[in-house]
Amino acid sequence: MQNPEVFILAIESSCDDTAAAVLHNDKVLANVVANQLIHNQYGGVVPELASRAHQQNIVPVVDAALRKANIQKEQLSAIAFTQGPGLMGSLLVGGSFSKSMSAALEIPLIAVNHMHAHVLAHFIDEDGFDKPSFPFLALTISGGHTQIIRVDSFFDMTIIGETTDDAVGEAFDKSAKILRLPYPGGPLIDKYAQLGNPKAFAFTKPKVAGLDFSFSGLKTAILYFIQKQKLQNPDFITENLNDICASIQHTIIEILMDKIKLAVKETGIKQVAIGGGVSANSGIRAALKATEARYGWKTFIPKFEYTTDNAAMIGIVGYQKFLNQHFETASVVSKARIQF
């Protein structure tokens, strides 16, 4: 039986989004994210600026989440926060804030692994979204992570494949940078790709054993290809932008789908759940959906606001940990790298 009256305040500050959410059991009452636009002009996240922006954002973001949820802080059952992995200066802001608030309210403190949260985001109760059953495979794809995870229960997860260099979101963003598109370029590649021919240009796919990924070679291949083409035609990018984007996206999707198909074959598990910012990609969504009719897989894509970095996913892990009385003392430390 679920405890019907658990209210979790969740805080996420691992990278460049300051986020707070309030959950009532597994339902989200409020999910507030303050994006830090300051990084766009630098073409990537600047850790020191991120940490400073978290300090400015955290009080208003938590305040907004509580007001939106329409609950008083005295009603909270516990505070859950991202312990890691992430940028140390960013993690410390959310961690210190959560410790102080749990001490002031005299309620339990719950530490959450950000990567577990991307996986368990599928268990947020949301109309129109099915939850996977155990065991399932989770493909977590974002600007910071690329992992295939075998999930046997809420707390029994094993990484069975991951990137050996760049994350898939970085592959999108760095390719976009070569094409002189603004950061983050992933959504723009997706947009132009929809108007182009995915077979226009061929890029060699990396050969990596097993279920691991590599994306740095692809980025170099794209760079050399563009440099060569520009020698013959300085306007090559502008004249072929849609086709270039479609071809890059097609290659990235093939790399992802080859590995996830191998993971299904090796584990015999046909439920596949994707999460992370790159799961917004229209091509990846379509490729994954197509496996349902073609191979009899069941696939899961969470509501978009729970798939990019957010605090609701921290809250759902917090809720499960609360049910298991898995609490921390104020001596718990933030960790840039964290054991899975």
Is residue 273 involved in binding ligand KG4 (CB under 6 A)? no
The residue nearest Zn ion at its CB is: 309
Is position 169 annotated in a ligand binding site? no
Of residues 305 through 324, those in contact with ligand KG4 by CB under 6 A are 308-309
Helices (H) and strands (E) in the chain, counts: 9, 10
Count Cβ atoms within 10 A of the Cβ of residue 165 and give its class: 0-12 exposed, 13-18 middle, 19 or more buried.
Answer: middle
Is position 142 annotated in a ligand binding site? yes
- Residue from 43, 44, 47, 187 touching ligand KG4 (CB under 6 A): that is 187
* CA–CA separation, 123 and 2 (whole Å): 14
Task: Outline where 41-183 has alpha helix (H).
Answer: 47-69, 88-105, 114-120, 168-178
Answer with the entry of ligand KG4, Zn ion, none that 253 interacts with (C-beta below 5 to 8 A by kind). none
Q: Which one, of 266, 87, 276, 62, lies nearest residue 163 by Cα?
A: 276
309 and 82 in contact (C-beta within 8 Å)? no
- Residue from 89, 169, 315, 318 touching ligand KG4 (CB under 6 A): that is 169
Distance, CA of 125 to chain centre: 18
Nearer residue to ligand KG4 within complex by CB, 108 or 184: 184
Q: Dihedral of CA 97/100/103/109: which sign?
A: positive
Residues that bind Zn ion (CB under 5 A): 142, 309
Answer with the entry of Zn ion, ligand KG4, none that 53 interacts with (C-beta below 5 to 8 A by kind). none
User: Which range binds ligand KG4 by CB under 6 A, 92-100, 166-174, 239-247, 329-337?
Assistant: 166-174
Q: Tell me, by CB under 6 A, how many residues bind ligand KG4.
A: 18
Q: Which one, of 337, 318, 276, lies nearest residue 148 by Cα?
A: 276
Q: Is 180 left (phi over 0), alpha (psi -120 to 50) or beta?
A: left
Is position 114 annotated in a ligand binding site? yes
Nearer residue to ligand KG4 within complex by CB, 190 or 328: 190
Is residue 184 involved in binding ligand KG4 (CB under 6 A)? yes
CA angle, 204 then 210 then 215, to 5°: 40
* CA–CA separation, 76 and 108 (whole Å): 10
Is position 143 annotated in a ligand binding site? yes
Nearer residue to ligand KG4 within complex by CB, 126 or 173: 173
For the window 6-45, what string marks contact with ligand KG4 as x by the rule CB under 6 A?
---------x------------------------------
- Residue from 95, 161, 186, 302 touching ligand KG4 (CB under 6 A): that is 186
Residue 71: CB minimum distance to ligand KG4, A: 27
237 and 244 in contact (C-beta within 8 Å)? yes
Answer with the entry of ligand KG4, Zn ion, none that 16 interacts with (C-beta below 5 to 8 A by kind). none
Task: Outline where 130-212 has alpha helix (H).
Answer: 168-178, 186-193
**Cβ atoms within 10 A of the Cβ of 248, count?**
28
Q: Which residues are annotated as a binding site for Fe cation?
A: 114, 118, 309
| Binding site, annotated residues | 114, 118, 140-144, 173, 186, 190, 281, 309
Residues that constitute the known binding site for substrate: 140-144, 173, 186, 190, 281
Residues of this chain that bind ligand KG4 (CB under 6 A): 15, 142-144, 169, 172-173, 184, 186-187, 190, 276-278, 280-281, 308-309
